[in-house]
Amino acid sequence: MNICIFGSASNRIDPSYIEAVESLGEKLAKQGHALIYGAGSGGLMGASARGFYRGKGKITGIAPEFFTETKVDGELFEQCDEMIYTDTMRIRKQKMEHAADIFVVVPGGLGTFDEVFEILTLRQLRQLNKEIYFYNINGYYDEMFAFLETSKSKGFISQNFEDLFTVFNDEKSLLDAISSKNKS
């Protein structure tokens, strides 16, 4: 399956996040999955690519053309099997959305939030029928989930928003879910 991983491009994060995502990427590759991602070499984007590379998995990077000029997200990962350039960030997200069979969200910042909230919205509107898995490393997303519950309790979010995604706090459970999805 094509696994789209959304995550941080920052290198200023605790190394435990990087180690966890590199491990996940390597194990997914060894299970025969391919990576679809934002093409960066830094942060958790780079960690996922390095893991897939170590596991000998196929890596497809998708980046807007301006990343090559401005290096907004740092360097691009040079060992991608395929690099797709787009005109805009919106087209980048659309290409990742179409290429993915499953989305895995690892810790990230504004870019990651933008990506994941778009696919959550599309899933809520029934325009996307693909699994969305949060890998909640070190409880990173706990406060976001609490905020979503607050929004739900005040009537701003539908009562069944939790059905849009699944949260995993450990690698084994996440790998098992992806493996079982692959068999169905």
Partners of 85 in beta bridges: 63
In which residue ranges of the chain is pLDDT below 50? none
Interval 81-122: pLDDT, tens: 999 999 999 999 999 999 999 999 999 999 999 999 999 999
Strands 34-37 and 131-135: unpaired
The pLDDT value recorded for residue 122 is 96
SS3 category, 54: helix
The pLDDT value recorded for residue 16 is 97
Query: Exposed/middle/buried for 119, CB within 10 Å: 0-12, 13-18, 19+?
Result: buried
The pLDDT value recorded for residue 181 is 85
